[in-house]
Amino acid sequence: MHSNSFSFPRFLNESRALLRLSLPIIITQLATNAMGFVDTSMAGQASARDLAAIAVGTSLWLPASLLLRGILMMLTPVIAHHRGADNQTGISVDFGQALWIALLSAMVLIAYLTQSENILTFMNVDPDVVPIGVGYLHALAMGVPGIALFYTINSFLEGMGDTRAPMVMSLLGLLINIPVNYLLIYGKLGLPELGAVGCGWATGIVYWLMSLMMIFYINTRHRYKIFMRPKRMLPDFRRMSELFRLGLPIGINVFVTGSIFAVIALLIGKLGASNIASAQIALNFSSMTYMIPMSLSFGITIRVGHALGQTKMAEARLRSITGILLAGIIAMISSSALLLFPEQIISLYTRDPEIAQMAAALLVFTAIYQFSDAIQAAANGALRGYKDTRTPMLLACVAYWGIALPLGYTTAMTDLVVPALGVRGFWVGIVTGLTLSAGFMLIRLIWKMRTVESQSSIT
């Protein structure tokens, strides 16, 4: 017990191990997100309609992809537990069931995307944009099984502690995506000029290639070949149901966290072009800084899950505390950068003095919530390691949709509490919601650690 007590040397050792594990995950997230940036920038060069089509298409695809990614993330702590317990059969069985869940989820998403024309028409999207947006989403639908397969294998490898392979595949995917986009958007080498629709085909093709590379990788490594037992991977609907019930709250949690910023961005659309531009600067830069604590949370999930699989409860507690402290330290660095270098950050986006002044005010709020955002992400990662997903999902819904959004809208758009603050009011809501979420997650994690340790001491 003493060897697992918290101390500064133990903190440094665990921090190094966590960073070694998490750095490839950070690079993976940056690479996959960069593909969306490439799509947007290259489509924008084709025409304004193509850029608008990507925007409306993404508004339908992004929430669905977040939900899919979150559901399949459940495999990471499950595999980490099995690996810690040296349960090879459990690894094979649950990997197989996750693949079936991915396939069924992909079929549901394909059906959803095929209804995109009805959805966009119902939303009163510009009729000139609808056909291109629909074409983009229909093309993307062909790649959904490949995307789901990549997410599943990625979660499997992360659970096995192998985060470098997904990183390499993601970087290769990014490099492939650029020329494929170029060929299909602009119609080079005799190919038809597809515009934004070409982005959909390119994304699907690249994810299929990434998935095939992942399959080749696990089938050529003895470490993983032993788990590829077809008889163990046949569908088991009882186990599939258990895993889905574990994954769905994670998916909803990820969806809620990601979609709140998308909704706020839509609401800000009523406040004029300058407000939209300044908000986009703060939101975009914040989303990039969030990738670090989010990726770190995946590493925390793996480290905590592995310790629990070995029934090392004190080690799991140590890894949880270390992950949260490390996330807090990283948040202080990003917060300091926002406060010390706002002009340099804003200059990356605009030279307009009015927009720059408004964005500078929002970056102060953004700096304030860096700490709470990092803490809630890290605590959430530890809770996933404990396979605690349902209650954190409910807490996130309360913090973001029950408090942050109503408070943000009230202070931004009405005079009910204070004279309408405009776009800054939404940031008041974000700061409040993230701070409450961090508090909720910490309290839940403390309770969960004590409960698990108490049950372990009894048995």
**Residue 16 within a domain:** no
Mean pLDDT, rounded, for 149-168: 92
CA distance linking residue 131 with residue 207, whole number of Å: 24
Contact 140, 203 (CB under 8 A): yes
Does residue 344 carry a pLDDT above 70? yes
Q: Which two tokens stand for residue 379?
A: 């605590």
Least confident of 107-121, 340-354, 362-376: 340-354
Res 317: pLDDT:
95
**Residues 444, 331 share a domain:** yes
User: What is the count of structural domains for the chain?
Assistant: 2
Beta carbons within 8 Å of 128's beta carbon, 6+ residues apart? 49
More confident residue, 382 or 280: 382
CA 138, chain centre distance (Å): 23
User: For the purposes of burial, counting CB atoms within 10 Å of the CB of 144, is it exposed (0-12), middle (13-18) or buried (19 or more)?
Assistant: buried
**Residue 438 within a domain:** yes
CA distance linking residue 119 with residue 111, whole number of Å: 12
**Residue 8 within a domain:** no
Contact 66, 256 (CB under 8 A): no
**Residues 263, 225 share a domain:** no
Does residue 157 carry a pLDDT above 80? yes
Q: Which two tokens stand for residue 245?
A: 């019930």
**Residues 410, 382 share a domain:** yes
Mark residue 387 as left, alpha or beta (left: phi above 0; alpha: psi -120 to 50; beta: remaining): left
Last residue of a domain, one of 189, 210, 235: 235
pTM: 0.82
Q: Domain span at residue 320?
A: 248-459
Res 417: pLDDT:
85
Does residue 3 carry a pLDDT above 60? no
**Residue 85 within a domain:** yes
**Residues 408, 287 share a domain:** yes
**Residue 241 within a domain:** no
**Residues 50, 78 share a domain:** yes
- Reported confidence tier of residue 394, pLDDT bands at 50, 70, 90: very high
Contact 423, 268 (CB under 8 A): yes
Question: Tell me, what amino acid is at 60?
Answer: L
Q: Which two tokens stand for residue 233?
A: 């991977």
* CA proximity to 44, closest of 29, 54, 32, 35: 54
pLDDT, one tens digit per residue, over 173-186 is 999 999 998 899 88
pLDDT, one tens digit per residue, over 57-77 is 777 787 888 899 989 999 999
* CA proximity to 153, closest of 98, 109, 104: 98
**Residues 123, 165 share a domain:** yes
**Residues 209, 157 share a domain:** yes
**Residues 258, 225 share a domain:** no
What's the full length of the chain, in residues? 459
Res 2: pLDDT:
43
- Reported confidence tier of residue 29, pLDDT bands at 50, 70, 90: confident
Beta carbons within 8 Å of 115's beta carbon, 6+ residues apart? none
pLDDT, one tens digit per residue, over 250-295 is 899 888 877 777 677 667 766 666 776 777 678 778 877 888 898 9
More confident residue, 141 or 57: 141
Mean pLDDT, rounded, for 120-141: 83
CA distance linking residue 81 with residue 69, whole number of Å: 20
**DSSP of 317-330:** HHHHHHHHHHHHHH
Mean pLDDT, rounded, for 21-33: 87
**Residues 143, 258 share a domain:** no
**Residue 242 within a domain:** no
CA distance linking residue 156 with residue 441, whole number of Å: 25
Tell me what percent of the residues of the chain surpass a pLDDT of 90: 50
- Reported confidence tier of residue 42, pLDDT bands at 50, 70, 90: confident
* CA proximity to 104, closest of 72, 136, 57: 72
**Residue 17 within a domain:** no
Last residue of a domain, one of 235, 268, 301: 235
CA distance linking residue 304 with residue 310, whole number of Å: 10
Mean pLDDT, rounded, for 78-90: 90
**Residues 107, 41 share a domain:** yes
**Residues 258, 204 share a domain:** no
**Residues 115, 264 share a domain:** no
Residue 265 CA: distances (Å) to CA of 20, 205, 279, 283, 373: 35, 30, 7, 8, 18
Does residue 17 carry a pLDDT above 90? yes
Last residue of a domain, one of 235, 266, 292: 235
**Residue 174 within a domain:** yes
